[in-house]
C-alpha cells in the first residue's frame, strides 16, 4: 500500500510528523539568503525547510523537501525505491517487448493497465483564487534569486504542461523559468526535451503555443516532470502508477489545457513562437553558471492558486544537492526499463559528482568478448543515456556505489591501450568542456575481467615501490598550490596537482616538470586541476574532473605509458573559443549576514 498525498500541504504535514521539517520564523530574504541557509542544510542531509517569514511576501517557501534518501522515499510514498522498480519489472515480464517501439507502447499500456490514468475534476484547490488581466503579477510570488551572478529570479521547480499539436498528447517537463516582469518569464527548453519538440511543432505551424505551469503539485507529480520517459508517454501515467491513485486535473481558465487540481499555483499562458529573449546566466546543477542564450518567452494569461499557497522550490549547484537524491531515485526506478534493451545490466549508478550526464557506472553479467564495448555503443544511442560523457563498465561482483573501491580497481588493473574507448557524440547542453556546444568527446572505460577472445592486459608493476616524497616531486615547479597521492598502495600511482593557472598549456608544462623530478618513475598518472582547496576531498576532485574534462583533448598518453589528465579551465589560445563558466560561490556579504543571524534562526543542522 502506497502513501499518497492530497497536495503539498498534506506532504508537509507528513514531513513534520516524521521530524523531517524545520519551520524558520525569522525574516529571511528570497534573494540569496534562503539559498545560503538551504545549501548548508543540504550538504549535511539536513531537514526540509519551511520559511514562514519571507521578507516582502505573504507565502511561505518550502525547500529541500527531497533532500535525503528518507524524504525521497517519503515523497514517492514507498518504503523502498526498489518497490517501484519491482512493480515495473513485474509488469514488463508479463509481455516482454521485442523492440524499442514495442517497449514504449507496452509501457504506456502497462501504466494504463493499472487503471490510474489522470482524471479531470470540475473544481480544484488550485483555482480557489483566480487572477487575470491587471491583477497578474508573478513578482508577488517569492521566487528566489539563488546565486550572486544569476540574471535574476528563477522558478526552479515548475511542472510545465504542453501538448503535441499533431497528436494531442500531453507532456510534463521541468524547465527553469527566469522572471522578466509581472507577466513574462523565460522558458528554458533544452533542444532534446519533449516540450521543445512540441514547441517546434507549433512554430512550424505558425501558431502560438499554450502552456500551463504547476508549482507545488503533489510531490510525485513534481518528480514525474523530471523523469526520462520515452517520447510520447504521459508523465502523469507514471505519477499515477507510483501513487497507485489517479492524478486529478482541472481545466485551465484561459487556455485549452489541464493542470493539477491540487497544486499550490498554476500559471496559465502561451509561448509566442516569434519571440525569444536573453535568458541566464543561471547557477546550474553542474556547479557552474550556464551562459546567457536566447530562449522562448512565456506570457502569463492567468495565475490561479490556493487561498494560502506555499511556494515550492529547490536550488541546484555543486553536489551534493537536493537533485542528487532525485537522480538516485530515477536511476533505481528506470533500471528495469533499461534492462529490457540491455539484459546484461546488473546495476547502475549516476554518481553525484557527475551531475547526471557526465558519468554513469554500470555493472554487467559478462558472457562474451567485447560485450562492454557493445553496451557502450548501445547506451550512447539510447534516450537520455546518449548524453553520458563517461561510461564505466565493470563486472557484476563490484559495487557500483563504492566509488573508492572502483578507483582502486582501476588503478590496479587499467590497461590504457586496451581499456579506454574514445569517441564523439552529442552532449548535454550544460556540458561546458567541449570545444562546441552539444557535441564533443566521450570516454568509455572497460574494466571487466578478460574472457576468451580478448587479449590479456599488460602486466602492471608491483605495489612495493619505494615512495618518493610529494615535496620532491613538485620541487622547484612554480604555481603549484597543492599535491597529493590519494592511493599509495595501487599498481598505477596517481598524483593530484593543483595549480594557479595563468597561461595556456600550463598543465602540460607542470606535468612535464614533475616527470623530470620523478627519477624513480613512481608516478604513472598526473591529474592537474585549477586551484583546489583540498585535494584529499576526492568527491570535489571527481566533480572537477567530470565537469571539465573533454577526453580527446585533455587525456594525453605518452610512449612510456604515462598519462596526463588536464582538467583545468581552457583559454582561446588552447583552441577553446567558448566562454569558460564561473564556479558557483556565494558572495561574502550573504555568508556574513547568515552567520550573523544563525543563532536567531533557532536551527540545528
**Per the structure block, which three cell numbers stand in for 587?**
558572495
Rg (CA), the chain: 25
Q: Is the bond leading into 402 cis (omega within 30 degrees of zero)? A: no
Q: How many CB atoms sit inside 10 A of residue 284's CB?
A: 22
**Per the structure block, which three cell numbers stand in for 295?**
530562449
Cα 461 from chain centroid? Answer: 38
Does 288 score more than 90 pLDDT? yes
Active site residues: 284
**Per the structure block, which three cell numbers stand in for 12?**
508537509
CB 549 within 8 A of CB 433: yes
At 528-573, the pLDDT tens digits run 999 888 999 999 999 999 999 999 999 999 988 899 999 999 999 9
CB 457 within 8 A of CB 447: no
Measured in residues, the chain has a length of 605
At 577-605, the pLDDT tens digits run 999 999 999 999 999 999 999 998 877 65
CA dist., res. 156 & res. 488, Å (int): 43
At 387-399, the pLDDT tens digits run 999 999 999 999 9
Query: Which pLDDT score is estimated for 467?
Result: 77
> Mean pLDDT throughout 99-108?
54
If pLDDT is split at 50, 70 and 90, which confidence band does 109 have? Answer: low
CB 118 within 8 A of CB 247: yes
CB 254 within 8 A of CB 302: yes
The contacts of residue 440 (CB under 8 Å, 6+ apart) are 389, 424, 425, 427, 431, 433, 434, 550
Does 204 score more than 60 pLDDT? yes
Does 96 score more than 50 pLDDT? no
Query: Which pLDDT score is estimated for 415?
Result: 92
**What are the start-end ranges of the H helices in 497-581?**
506-517, 538-548, 551-554
SS3 assignment, position 124: coil
More confident call, 463 vs 225? 225
> Mean pLDDT throughout 291-314?
96
The contacts of residue 548 (CB under 8 Å, 6+ apart) are 432, 433, 554, 567, 568, 569
**Range list for CATH 3.40.1670.10 in the chain:** 342-446, 470-572
Query: Which pLDDT score is estimated for 341?
Result: 85
CA dist., res. 223 & res. 321, Å (int): 15
- What would the CATH number be for the domain defined by 8-312? 2.30.110.10
If pLDDT is split at 50, 70 and 90, which confidence band does 464 have? Answer: low
Please tell us whether the domain made up of 342-446 is placed in CATH 3.30.70.3460.
no
Residue 289 burial by CB count (10 A; 0-12/13-18/19+): exposed, middle or buried?
buried
Query: Which pLDDT score is estimated for 254?
Result: 98
Q: Specify the pairing of strand 184-186 against strand 48-51.
A: unpaired
At 81-95, the pLDDT tens digits run 888 888 777 666 655
CA dist., res. 454 & res. 372, Å (int): 12
CA dist., res. 476 & res. 23, Å (int): 54
CB 264 within 8 A of CB 311: yes
Query: Which pLDDT score is estimated for 97?
Result: 47
**Range list for CATH 2.30.110.10 in the chain:** 8-312
Query: Which pLDDT score is estimated for 602?
Result: 72
Query: Which pLDDT score is estimated for 488?
Result: 87
At 21-30, the pLDDT tens digits run 999 999 999 9
At 500-520, the pLDDT tens digits run 999 999 999 999 999 999 988
Query: Which pLDDT score is estimated for 510?
Result: 96
CA dist., res. 536 & res. 539, Å (int): 9
The contacts of residue 150 (CB under 8 Å, 6+ apart) are 281, 282, 283, 289
Query: Which pLDDT score is estimated for 106?
Result: 55
Greatest C-alpha distance within the chain: 79
CB 5 within 8 A of CB 556: no
CB 8 within 8 A of CB 222: no
Query: Which pLDDT score is estimated for 113?
Result: 45
Rounded to the nearest 5°, which phi and psi values hold at 295? -140, 160
Residue 269 burial by CB count (10 A; 0-12/13-18/19+): exposed, middle or buried?
buried
CA dist., res. 416 & res. 414, Å (int): 6
CA dist., res. 284 & res. 250, Å (int): 32
Residue 551 burial by CB count (10 A; 0-12/13-18/19+): exposed, middle or buried?
buried
More confident call, 91 vs 224? 224
Query: Which pLDDT score is estimated for 299?
Result: 98
Q: Provide the percentage of residues in the chain whose pLDDT is more than 70.
A: 93
Helix, strand, coil percent values for the chain (each to nearest 5): 30, 25, 45
Query: Which pLDDT score is estimated for 103?
Result: 53
**Per the structure block, which three cell numbers stand in for 561?**
605509458
- What would the CATH number be for the domain defined by 470-572? 3.40.1670.10
> Mean pLDDT throughout 436-447?
95
Look up residue 353 and give its DSSP letter: G
Cα 599 from chain centroid? Answer: 33
Residue 274 burial by CB count (10 A; 0-12/13-18/19+): exposed, middle or buried?
exposed
Does 101 score more than 80 pLDDT? no
CA dist., res. 433 & res. 547, Å (int): 7
Query: Taking all residues of the chain, what is their mean pLDDT, rounded to a whole number?
Result: 91
At 231-248, the pLDDT tens digits run 777 899 889 989 889 999
> Which of 368, 362, 454, 463 shows the shortest CA–CA distance to 408?
463
Query: Which pLDDT score is estimated for 105?
Result: 56
At 124-176, the pLDDT tens digits run 999 999 999 999 999 999 999 999 999 999 999 999 999 988 888 899 999 99
Amino acid at each position: 500500500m502506497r502513501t499518497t498525498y492530497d497536495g503539498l500541504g498534506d506532504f508537509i504535514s507528513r514531513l513534520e510528523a516524521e521530524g523531517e521539517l524545520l519551520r524558520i520564523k525569522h525574516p529571511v530574504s528570497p534573494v540569496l539568503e534562503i539559498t545560503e541557509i538551504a545549501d548548508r542544510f543540504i550538504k549535511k542531509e539536513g531537514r526540509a525547510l519551511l520559511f514562514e517569514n519571507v521578507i516582502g511576501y505573504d507565502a511561505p517557501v518550502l525547500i529541500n523537501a527531497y533532500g535525503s534518501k528518507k524524504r525521497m522515499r517519503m515523497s514517492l510514498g514507498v518504503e523502498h525505491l526498489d518497490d517501484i522498480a519491482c512493480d515495473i519489472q513485474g509488469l514488463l515480464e508479463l509481455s516482454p517487448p521485442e523492440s524499442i517501439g514495442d517497449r514504449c507502447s507496452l509501457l504506456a499500456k502497462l501504466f494504463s493497465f493499472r487503471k490510474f490514468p489522470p482524471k479531470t475534476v470540475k473544481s480544484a484547490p488550485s483555482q480557489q483564487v483566480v487572477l487575470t488581466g491587471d491583477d497578474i503579477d508573478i513578482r508577488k510570488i517569492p521566487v528566489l534569486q539563488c546565486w550572486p551572478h544569476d540574471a535574476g529570479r528563477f522558478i526552479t521547480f515548475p511542472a510545465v504542461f504542453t501538448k503535441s499539436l499533431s497528436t494531442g498528447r500531453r507532456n510534463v517537463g521541468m524547465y527553469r523559468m527566469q522572471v522578466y516582469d509581472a507577466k513574462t518569464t523565460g522558458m528554458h527548453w533544452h533542444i532534446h526535451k519533449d516540450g521543445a519538440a512540441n514547441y517546434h511543432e507549433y512554430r512550424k505551424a505558425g501558431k502560438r503555443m499554450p502552456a500551463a505551469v504547476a508549482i507545488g503539485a503533489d510531490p510525485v507529480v513534481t518528480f514525474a516532470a523530471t523523469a526520462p520517459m520515452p517520447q510520447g508517454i504521459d508523465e502523469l501515467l507514471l505519477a499515477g502508477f507510483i501513487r497507485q491513485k489517479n492524478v486529478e486535473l482541472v481545466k485551465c481558465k484561459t487556455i485549452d489545457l489541464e493542470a493539477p487540481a491540487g497544486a499550490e499555483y498554476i500559471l496559465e499562458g502561451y509561448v509566442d513562437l516569434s519571440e525569444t529573449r536573453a535568458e541566464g546566466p543561471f547557477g546550474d546543477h553542474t556547479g557552474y553558471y550556464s551562459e546567457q542564450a536566447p530562449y522562448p518567452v512565456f506570457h502569463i494569461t492567468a495565475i490561479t492558486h490556493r487561498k494560502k499557497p506555499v511556494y515550492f522550490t529547490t536550488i541546484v549547484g555543486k553536489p551534493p544537492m537536493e537533485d542528487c537524491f532525485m537522480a538516485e531515485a530515477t536511476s533505481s526506478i528506470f533500471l528495469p526499463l533499461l534492462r529490457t534493451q540491455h539484459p546484461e545490466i546488473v546495476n547502475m549508478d549516476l554518481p553525484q559528482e557527475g551531475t547526471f550526464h557526465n558519468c554513469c557506472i554500470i555493472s554487467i553479467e559478462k558472457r562474451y568478448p567485447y560485450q562492454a564495448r557493445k553496451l557502450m555503443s548501445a547506451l550512447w544511442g539510447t534516450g537520455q543515456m546518449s548524453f553520458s560523457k563517461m561510461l564505466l563498465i565493470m563486472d557484476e561482483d563490484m559495487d557500483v556505489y563504492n566509488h573508492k573501491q572502483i578507483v582502486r580497481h582501476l588503478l590496479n588493473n587499467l590497461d590504457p591501450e586496451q581499456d579506454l574507448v574514445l569517441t564523439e557524440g552529442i552532449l548535454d547542453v550544460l556540458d561546458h568542456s567541449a570545444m562546441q556546444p552539444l557535441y564533443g568527446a566521450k570516454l568509455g572505460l572497460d574494466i571487466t575481467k578478460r574472457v576468451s577472445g580478448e587479449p590479456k592486459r599488460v602486466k602492471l608493476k608491483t605495489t612495493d615501490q619505494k615512495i618518493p616524497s610529494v615535496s620532491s616531486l613538485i620541487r622547484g615547479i612554480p604555481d603549484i598550490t597543492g599535491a597529493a597521492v590519494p592511493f599509495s598502495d595501487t599498481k598505477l600511482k596517481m598524483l593530484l596537482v593543483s595549480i594557479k593557472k595563468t597561461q595556456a598549456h600550463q598543465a602540460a608544462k607542470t606535468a612535464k616538470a614533475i616527470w623530470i623530478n620523478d627519477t624513480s618513475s613512481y608516478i604513472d598518472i598526473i591529474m592537474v586541476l585549477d586551484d583546489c582547496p583540498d585535494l584529499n576531498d576526492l568527491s570535489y576532485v571527481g566533480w572537477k574532473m567530470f565537469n571539465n574534462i573533454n577526453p580527446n583533448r585533455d587525456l594525453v598518453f605518452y610512449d612510456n605509458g604515462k598519462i596526463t589528465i588536464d582538467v583545468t579551465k581552457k583559454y582561446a589560445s588552447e583552441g577553446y573559443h567558448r566562454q569558460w563558466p564561473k564556479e558557483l560561490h556565494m558572495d561574502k556579504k550573504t555568508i556574513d549576514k547568515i552567520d550573523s543571524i544563525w543563532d536567531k534562526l533557532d536551527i540545528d543542522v
